[in-house]
Amino acid sequence: MTSAYLRQSLPSTADLPCSDDTPVDDEDQNLLPNLLLLLLNSLWAERMDWFFGVDMAVYHTTGFNARVPVVPDAFLSLGVERKKNGKSRRSYAVWEEQDVVPMLTLEMVSHKPGGEYDKRMDIYASLGVLYYVVYNPEYWNRDRHQPLEIYKLDEAGAYCLQIGEPYWMPEIGLGIGRYQGEVGGLAQEVLTWYDEQGQRHWSAEEQASWRAEQAEVAVSRERSRRKQLEEILRSQGIDPDSLPEG
């Protein structure tokens, strides 16, 4: 916990950079985390106790300088306001969030290694992030790791690689994993959320499309049923068009 004295001397997020101004290496570093956020906005639309940041600075007091942030590709905090005092956050300072640290952080490995398997892992462990997810779809062989790795912080404060995908995180109430999806009309591997049974959560668009398909199927079945009924009536010498309505 941050002491009251130290808290008074810490800067406000209004005076701190919102990121580290490091450009992303490819479009997926913004796209895939934002797809996770969009799905959460649908799944947890009624909940106001969470925040999901994408490429946002996380300021903390476990490093050598509270003004030097760590900037995950994405992170999830529970038990905080969706909107800080009704406004959008510029950055996330642990001391302004009742000392709530992110429960999950996501790092996406690109052509230039960024310490995802050592330096950043140590930072998140010191910070107390429960789940650390490393997504490395292109360079996992180079780095001698798996394309997707989920680490959980143990009681000794060390990360342990977890087994299974999708991987269920009971403390969060979500699972995370990959699937072959379609983004903007193009086939692509996507990170997404799963339920406890390992079923992928559908996006709002997928749910709307499924409902439309089901409605179309229902209409088709009703037409088929009416046609069969009319054929039965005609076989008995009854003109279905001459029947009274009602």
In the block, tokens 């009536």 appear at 233
**For 225-241, what is the mean pLDDT?**
84
Percent of all residues in the chain with a pLDDT value above 90, rounded to a whole number: 63
Q: What phi and psi, each to the nearest 5 degrees, are found at residue 41?
A: -60, -30
18 has a pLDDT exceeding 70: no
Confidence of residue 246 (pLDDT cuts 50, 70, 90): low
Nearest to 127 by CA among 63, 76, 170: 63
Confidence of residue 7 (pLDDT cuts 50, 70, 90): low
Sheet containing 74-78, strands listed edge to edge, beginning at the edge strand earlier in sequence:
50-54, 74-78, 104-108, 131-135, 148-153, 159-161
103 has a pLDDT exceeding 50: yes
- Strand extents, DSSP E, the chain: 50-54, 58-59, 74-78, 92-93, 104-108, 131-135, 148-153, 159-161, 167-169, 174-183, 186-194
Cα 66 to chain centroid distance, Å, stands at 27
Task: Give residue-wise pLDDT tens across range 164-177.
Answer: 999 999 999 999 99
**For 9-36, what is the mean pLDDT?**
74
pLDDT at 223: 87
In the block, tokens 């000794």 appear at 156
pLDDT at 55: 94
Task: Give residue-wise pLDDT tens across range 39-94.
Answer: 999 999 999 999 999 999 999 999 889 889 999 999 999 999 999 999 999 999 99
pLDDT at 6: 55
Pick 63 or 190 by higher pLDDT.
Answer: 190
In the block, tokens 């699972």 appear at 175
pLDDT at 17: 62
Give Rg (Cα) of the chain.
25
Quote the CA–CA distance of 77 and 50 in Å, as a whole number. 6
Q: Rounded to 10 degrees, what is the CA torsion of 154, 159, 161, 165?
A: 80
pLDDT at 197: 97
Confidence of residue 5 (pLDDT cuts 50, 70, 90): very low
